[in-house]
Amino acid sequence: MKLQRKNRRALALGALAVSGALALTACGSDDTGTGGGDSSAGAGAGNIKCDDAQGQLLADGSSAQKNAIDAWVKQFTAACKGVQINYKGGGSGAGVTAFTQGQVAFAGSDSALDEEEITASKKICSGGQGIDLPMVGGPIAVGYNVPGVDNLVLDAPTLAKIFNDKIKNWNDPAIAKLNPDAKLPDLKIQAFHRSDESGTTDNFTKYLIATAKSEWPYEGGKAWEAKGGQSAAGSSGVAQQVKQTSGAISYMELSYAKDGISAVKIDTGADAPVEATTANASKMIAAAKRVGTGKDMALELDYATKVAGAYPITLVTYEIVCDKGNKSETLPGTKAFLRYIASEDGQKILEQNDYAPMPEEIISEVRTTIDGLS
């Protein structure tokens, strides 16, 4: 399936530097950091090369990658003094819009650029176009808060009916059939979805479309389409609602499914239900098909996979940047930061924050592409 993305621009409204990239966290939060000017890094980031990066770099986009960005920015700015980074995790839709409007040096998105967006990017990427660089992966956990139920199993049709307001109670026969040993309460289901345009929504609904089309008769995209349910802004917003609401369920990055939130195991038709883990997400990403052309590295995921241990509701977050025609004042910082987060050290940080690193065959090509940005 195609990962979509709207609006993009690789122009930055900041001065030089580098701005955060992937991290699955709350939308709308900013991160600013400063760091050392040496090519050497602080603890845990000894191989960072700052090159000529200086000044301030603005970026925006995926809230799913915000936690990773925070960790990366901390390491990068500790190594590169004179660099100030501001990543506003306003959601994938906001990031691509900011990119197309020339407000950021690069954007983070959980959906790849579509044809219309690629065409639009050529207006701002002088002599080039916007491209998708897959940088981080991770499972979209289906988090829930049901008292007394710790090991809930659901399949795609049942999930679709829950989020389409067709299954309304936790002791519904469809849920009971998948969980014969669970003590399901007579409790109303409180389904939450994202209120903002979100790549997480896009990927979650792509899974439902691919696996339960008859129960999910929608086109998909970053904006939520189904009727019913309640909404909250950002991954942190829906997670907070699930934490504080008995009977709640929502979709969120794995790093948010904690502190009172349990994650559903997905019945894919494999021998056993699949847990939302970074390792299981990596199995899903490893089988992805590249659909981008030229330097664009958009991937197509098989959401209907039945491979043992492959978690099907997985997203890939891209950094969107111009392959050619980047602003001269922001290019050094952009390349230095992207080079770091794509490095072995940068990718290791993902595992420490509930994200899945890119498979080596993918990230090695990303590194080559970054070196050629101009």
Residues pairing with 315 in the sheet: 138
| pLDDT for the residue 96 | 93
How far is residue 74's CA from residue 85's CA, in Å, rounded to a whole number? Answer: 10
Quickly tell me which residue has 């950002």 as its tokens.
234
Cα distance between residue 147 and residue 94, in whole Å: 36
pLDDT at 23: 33
Whether 35 has a pLDDT exceeding 60, the answer reads no
H or E stretch at 93: helix 92-100
- The answer to whether 148 touches 246, Cβ cutoff 8 Å, is no
Non-local CB neighbours of 328 within 8 Å, separated by 6+ positions: none
pLDDT tens sequence across 113-142: 989 999 889 999 999 999 999 999 999 999
Residue-level pLDDT at 210: 97
Q: Judging by DSSP bridges, how do beta strands 81-88 and 289-290 pair with one another?
A: unpaired
Q: Assess whether pLDDT exceeds 60 at residue 310.
A: yes
Confidence of residue 52 (pLDDT cuts 50, 70, 90): confident
* CB count in 10 Å sphere of residue 130: 29
Contacting residues for 279 by C-beta, under 8 A, at least 6 apart: 309, 356
pLDDT tens column, 205-260: 999 999 999 999 999 999 999 999 999 998 899 999 999 999 999 999 998 898 88
At CA 89, angle to CA 103 and CA 253, rounded to 5? 145
pLDDT at 46: 61
What whole-number distance in Å separates Cα of residue 61 and Cα of residue 42?
A: 27
Residue 181 has φ and ψ, to the nearest 5°, of: -100, 0
The average confidence (pLDDT) of the chain is: 87
- Check whether 199 has a pLDDT greater than 50: yes
pLDDT digits (tens, 9 = 90+) for 281-300: 999 999 999 999 999 999 99
- Answer yes or no: is pLDDT of 170 > 70: yes
Which residues, 6+ apart, have CB-to-CB distance to 230 below 8 Å?
Answer: 190, 191, 192, 193, 241
Q: What pLDDT is recorded for position 28?
A: 33
| Residue among 370, 368, 343, 371 at smallest CA distance from 358 | 343
Band of pLDDT at residue 24, cut at 50, 70 and 90: very low
Q: What type of residue is 283?
A: K
As a residue count, the chain comes to: 374
pLDDT of residue 51: 87
Quote the pTM value.
0.79
Two tokens, residue 45:
């980031």
Q: pLDDT tier at 29 (50, 70, 90 boundaries)?
A: very low
Give the side-chain half-sphere CA count within 13 A for 265.
17
The pLDDT of residue 268: 97
CA dist., res. 40 & res. 36, Å (int): 8
Asked if residues 164 and 133 have their Cβ atoms less than 8 Å apart, the reply is no
CB atoms within 10 A of CB 347: 20
Residue 38: is it exposed, middle or buried by C-beta count within 10 angstroms (0-12/13-18/19+)? middle
Residue in 298, 315, 350 with CA at minimum distance from that of residue 133: 298
pLDDT at 27: 34
Pairing outcome for strands 130-145 and 314-322:
antiparallel
